[in-house]
Each structure stands twice: as C-alpha cells, then as structure tokens.
Chain A
C-alpha cells in the first residue's frame, strides 16, 4: 500500500460520510425555514373523517361545518381565501354535541344546535366577544335546523311545538350590532 492509495481511500470515505450529513442539513434547514418564517402552507378543508353540514358566510369567504376529525363532533370554521382554519375559542364544549351551523354575512355570528342534556338548544356564538348565548331557553317544543340572517338579527328554525313541523322566526331586536351587509 503506498501513500497515494491510502489518501484516496480516506477521501472516498469522507465523501461517503459527507452525503448524509449534507442531506440531513438540507432537510433540517428546509423544515426549519418552513416552520419559522414565511407564509404557512395552505391547509386542506376535507379530512379522512366525515365532514358535513357546510354553511357559507354571506360574503362567501368563510365556511362553517361539522367534522368528526378530532374524535368528537365539533364545528370548524375555514377561511376559503387564506385556506386555513380559524380558531373558535369557547365554542365547542366537551359535554355537548354541536350541529347544523349557519353564519352571518362576515361570519361574525355563528348559530347552531347544541345538545347537552338530551334537549337541543339554539345557540348563538359571537366571534368578537367569544361568547355564547342560548336563544331557545324557555321555548317549549322541539327545535331543529336554525339559520341566521346575513345581518345577524333574525334566526329561523324548525319547530315541533304544534305536533307537526312548523317554522318560527326569532328577532334579536333593533339594538344588536348588525353584521355588515352588502
């Protein structure tokens, strides 16, 4: 074995090691750059789980729906322009099933059906105050399928109060903050 031969072997060995090092460096840099700065990649609306009951905001920008993806049935809100989910703090509770969502014009108000002790109630969630209000408390009769008007003042729903399905309208009154309209 002469000197030149051992040197070239050393070089080849170094090269062999260099490849995975460079690769792992590139991957970590790429991932780090992804998570750290720059815009986040868009997120898909649908999942492997059932995604149901879509409701568009009046301006067509936001989409509320019911998803089974987190092991529970919860209401999710998706921004169709930014292609990302929007947080709904205090809306989905562990002890209640939420279904049948509907949105006002800009999506400020979300009206949905919530069942906690067997009886479904119509609830209104305000995305600005992050508070929930029960609209059907004291109402005698089964309620289903609530839908809010784009300005946020009226809610229509299906009722079984008279022993058959009828339609009723709730007026939230002239003093509420209206969602902006066209």
Chain B
C-alpha cells in the first residue's frame, strides 16, 4: 500500500492558479477568434416602408456598388425602375428623367462619383443600353445604331467605358464602347 499524502495548501494554490490561467487563456482565445470571425460580416440594411431605403416591401434586385453609391432595380412603385442609394446619407436619390412609364429597366451600374448610371432598357419590344448623366439629367441610348438585342451592361467605376451583350451573330457577344458611344478598337474573331 502506498501512502496517499494530503495535498498541501501551496499545492492547492498552484492548481487554483493554473485553473485561473487556463480560464484566462480560454477567454483570450475566444475573444481573439470572435474578433477574427467578425469580418466579413453583413451590414445592417433595414427595410423602409416609405421606400427611401435600400430595401422595401417589394422586390429589390440587381444591386451594384461603386464608391458611396448603390444602384439597383426596385418594384416599390409597382414598376421596374432604377434607384440610386447613397450610403452616406442612407437615403435614395431622385433621378429625374431616368425612369419612364413605358420602359422596363434592368441591370444598372454606376460610376464611383455617382454621375453616370448605365442600364438596359426595354421599350415597346426594343432593347437599348442607356446612359444617364446626373449632372445634365440627360438620357442617351448608346446602342441606338446597333441592329441587335442588347442586355447586361457594365460601366467602369471611372465612368470611361461601358461593356454589354449583343446578339449580333445568332449568339451573345460582348461589345465595349466608350462613354460617348464609340466602339473600342478591338480585334474581331475570324468568322
């Protein structure tokens, strides 16, 4: 038989101290991991029944973000329209002359300064790639002289370039224009 020595007071203190150390270690680990897991995280984007926020009681789709702006399509006015949301003021910005009653708007994009908005519009069965200038409040059809169905435009953040799809040869091809509607000089595939 072995003698079981009772633990001395100093030994109990050591165990207690060790437990405390372990606890603090766990705690620091948990905080370190949770601060790690904090990003990427979702930004709170509340629903505004008044319709001046990013989300509404109707469908809000096809968002694009550039600088402080988010441009998207919303059905909050019972039509498919383009909206521009300012992340700084947390409000939508009025776009006079952009949305019209007879046009279905799709796939918007915005330049980082918020000046140019590009989107695909469908009016009376005819599609076009439109660019809206917020400074002059003018709307222009970039694909006016193109005899093709067009869709899915993208504008560069610096506002210089617009790319979109066109079904020119019985399939979807990509065309790249400058902001004024001139095609970029790119090599074409051998047909």
Taking Cβ atoms with an 8 Å cutoff, the residues of A that contact B are 42-60, 63, 65, 80, 83, 102, 105, 135, 145, 147-150, 154-158, 164-173, 175-176, 181-182
Contacts and interface: CB of A to CB of B under 8 A. Distances in A.
Given A52-B152, A175-B39, A44 B189 contact: yes
Contacts of B171: 48-50
Contacts of A60: 156, 158, 160-161
17 contacts: A51-B172, A53-B152, A53-B165, A58-B158, A59-B156, A60-B161, A63-B176, A83-B186, A155-B40, A158-B61, A167-B60, A167-B70, A169-B45, A170-B43, A172-B39, A181-B112, A182-B157
Interface string B30-69: 0000000011111101010000001100111111111100
Nearest to B153: A54
Given A56-B161, A156-B70, A147 B63 contact: yes
Nearest to B38: A173
Interface residues of B, number: 47
A173 B36 CA distance: 10
B64 A147 contact: yes
B163 A54 contact: yes
Given A52-B172, A60-B158, A167 B45 contact: yes
A2 to B, nearest CB: 55
A158 B62 contact: yes
Contacts of A43: 187
A59 B161 CA distance: 9
B174 A45 contact: yes
B155 interface: yes
Contacts of B156: 56-60
B127 interface: no
Contact of A169 (B42, B62, B173, B189): B42
